[in-house]
Amino acid sequence: MKQPSRAVHAGRELGARSPLAPDLSPAAVHVYTDLDDYDAVAKGERPGHYYGRNSNSNREMLERAVADLEGAEAGLATGSGMAALHATMLALAPRPATIVATRELYGGTMALLKQDFEPAGYEIHFVDLSDLDAVKRALDGAGLALAETITNPLCRVPDIESIATMARERGVPFLVDNTFASPILCRPLDLGATAVMHSATKYIGGHSDLVAGVAVGSAAAIGSARARSVRTGTTLAPFDAWLGLRGLRTLDVRMRRHSDNSIALARAMQHMPGVARVHHPLLEGSPSFAVASRLMPEGVGGMMAFDLEGGRAAVQRMLSRFELVAFAASLGGVETTISYPEITSHRSLTPQERAELGVTPGTVRLSVGIEDAGDIIDDFAQALAV
């Protein structure tokens, strides 16, 4: 099956009289009449569910579907992307070790590393992933490498294929946050990564009505992450899993529309007044153009950014003029939204730290939705008109 068909069908088997849309199973616990049967299910030797924190039919369908789309053996669905990341990091690096991470990490992940992993004895080594020699040096002796397929907010695309090769040569597990690309546009396991996680809150859910996470990888790695998630009680609730699977069914068409709309807007935006710079991996002249074209030939989704002259006042002026676009500190929904990294994802950094990452007081991150491209372009054009 190709990805568009997988997105529609993965995770479940239909038989005679099956409901075409999955039943919702909110049961916290299942009844057994045979002790050996319970024992076999609890040991994982027989399929079935016994307690909702351990497993649930809706969660299992979502886990199987995302694993299938990512080309993985197993999946784990959690109550948020952060929970998926945390459980998977501990599964891959259970004892204090050096973690090599991109310096452009999502702010929540940065906080997890600095406020939870560092005090627990892990050493965090932040690197510029576009400098492959620096990555190679940092990987020597490391216990885990962590990257994002597309960075936030400037939408750079690291060469995760080369990083995966270097990590594998050194026996370092490599975890990729594939939230921005989705398995439709990039499959990091095919490029050599050890495991992949998603904030399913974003593109997988797709409708700004769900907070969830998914991790996929080998049965051994995900089994270990699952055990951690079960022990700490971060597994995903049934209705949220149901919503995640419902979102996934349209992921392929949405990602293609997001991709088409974002590049159309990026091109148009280059000629809009007050726009100093547009960041989109597939714009000619982007530092990521070659890598993005190779690793994500079908598009890069809806994420892009731009720098506005005039800083915060100019951003506020644009915001107050929007008719269609909304300001919201998340991404990946069907609607076009903007985020302002200075007070959202990058608020914990100093102005100098932001400047080092290329985030200026005029930097605006966009999550381009699936509306008509012309309508989105028109809204930015009127909001930025002098």
Which residues are known to be catalytic? 53, 106, 177, 202
C-alpha dihedral, 63 to 64 to 68 to 73, nearest 10°: 90
Task: Choose which of 194, 201, 234, 286 interacts with ligand PLP (CB under 6 A).
Answer: 201
**CB closer to ligand PLP out of 152 and 288:** 152
Helices 238-248, 57-70: axis angle to 10 degrees equals: 30
- Helix residue spans in the chain (DSSP H): 3-9, 35-42, 57-70, 81-92, 107-112, 132-139, 160-169, 182-185, 219-232, 238-248, 251-269, 289-295, 311-321, 351-356, 373-384
Region 64-83 residues binding ligand PLP, contact defined as CB under 6 A = 80-82
Site string for ligand PLP, 285-314 (x = CB under 6 A): ------------------------------
Task: Choose which of 183, 188, 206, 213 interacts with ligand PLP (CB under 6 A).
Answer: 213
Residue nearest to ligand PLP (CB): 81
- Round to whole Å and give the CA distance between 100 and 172: 10
Task: Choose which of 69, 189, 211, 269 interacts with ligand PLP (CB under 6 A).
Answer: 211
* Structure-token match 């996934």, residue found: 248
The reply on whether position 179 binds ligand PLP by CB under 6 A is yes
Site string for ligand PLP, 105-134 (x = CB under 6 A): -x-x--------------------------
How many Cβ atoms sit within 10 Å of the Cβ of residue 224?
A: 19
**CB closer to ligand PLP out of 10 and 82:** 82
Smallest distance from ligand PLP to CB 366, Å: 14
Smallest distance from ligand PLP to CB 376, Å: 21
Smallest distance from ligand PLP to CB 148, Å: 6
Stretch that binds ligand PLP, among 6-14, 36-44, 86-94, 176-184 (CB under 6 A): 176-184
**DSSP H or E run through 98:** strand 98-102
CA 294 and chain centroid, separation: 20
Which residues are within 8 A (CB) of 46 and not within 5 positions of it... i.e. 6 or more apart? Answer: 37, 40
Pick from 41, 92, 88: nearest CA to 66: 88
**Residues in a beta bridge with 339:** 365
- Round to whole Å and give the CA distance between 360 and 308: 9
**CB closer to ligand PLP out of 268 and 280:** 280
**CB closer to ligand PLP out of 279 and 384:** 279
Specify burial of residue 195 (Cβ count, 10 A radius: 0-12, 13-18, 19+): buried
Smallest distance from ligand PLP to CB 32, Å: 34
Pick from 175, 117, 166: nearest CA to 148: 175
**CB closer to ligand PLP out of 25 and 234:** 234
**CB closer to ligand PLP out of 60 and 148:** 148
Stretch that binds ligand PLP, among 68-76, 164-172, 174-182, 272-280 (CB under 6 A): 174-182
How many Cβ atoms sit within 10 Å of the Cβ of residue 144?
A: 24
Smallest distance from ligand PLP to CB 82, Å: 4
Task: Choose which of 148, 159, 252, 379 interacts with ligand PLP (CB under 6 A).
Answer: 148
Tokens found for residue 86 = 């945390």
Stretch that binds ligand PLP, among 57-65, 172-180, 219-227, 316-324 (CB under 6 A): 172-180
**CB closer to ligand PLP out of 178 and 360:** 178
**CB closer to ligand PLP out of 41 and 300:** 300
How many Cβ atoms sit within 10 Å of the Cβ of residue 220?
A: 11
Sign of torsion over alpha carbons 189, 127, 296, 261 = positive
Number of residues that bind ligand PLP (CB under 6 A): 14
**Residues in a beta bridge with 279:** 305
Sites of contact with ligand PLP (CB under 6 A) = 80-82, 106, 108, 148, 152, 177, 179-180, 199, 201, 211, 213
